[in-house]
Amino acid sequence: MGPKATSGQLVLREPRPEDGPAVTALIAACPPLDQNSAYCNLLQCSHFAETCIVAERDGKIVGWISAYQPPNAPDEIFIWQVAVDQSARGLGLGKKMLNGLLARPAFKDAQVLTTTVTADNEASMAMFTSFARSHKAVLERHAHFERDAHFAGAHDTEFLVSIGPLSRS
């Protein structure tokens, strides 16, 4: 089944296909995150369960990270989305979930964590900066997917954030 929790306790675990609707609802409640299709979230909760993580409290999904290992980069963790429910903010949950992923067998060889973040997403940058600091890793940031060249002006530029090398202590 999975870990059991006492009332109010957070449990970090692999997502299951039946978590798809709750993940979709959580992402929708966390602007400015891009909303993927419910089917995409379902695939992440099934095909990519080993590289994604949910935080559950009292039977409710209150945290989500979708991640994967890029096929051409076996030493990398790419973080696609981080979502934390309003009720669980301020607890360091995003960073706890990142560390939970880093401990997974799927990422045992990972040396670098990458993600993309828009310039106005201060909360994400604060979390990734804190994560880098706690792992004594260097954080680099540069434009990756540009507003005009890649999004036809319909989305803000996404900056590639790279954190590494990752320490496991």
pLDDT, one tens digit per residue, over 15-72 is 999 999 999 999 999 988 888 899 999 999 999 999 999 999 999 999 999 999 999 9
Task: Kindly give the residue spans of alpha helices, DSSP state H, lying in the chain.
Answer: 20-28, 38-46, 93-102, 122-134, 147-151
Would you state the structure tokens that stand for residue 124, as one six-digit string? Answer: 């994400």
Domains, in order of start, for the chain: 10-164 (3.40.630.30)
For the chain, give the percent of residues with pLDDT over 70: 94
- Say what the pTM is: 0.89
Instruction: Dump strand ranges (E) for 14-111.
Output: 53-57, 60-68, 76-84
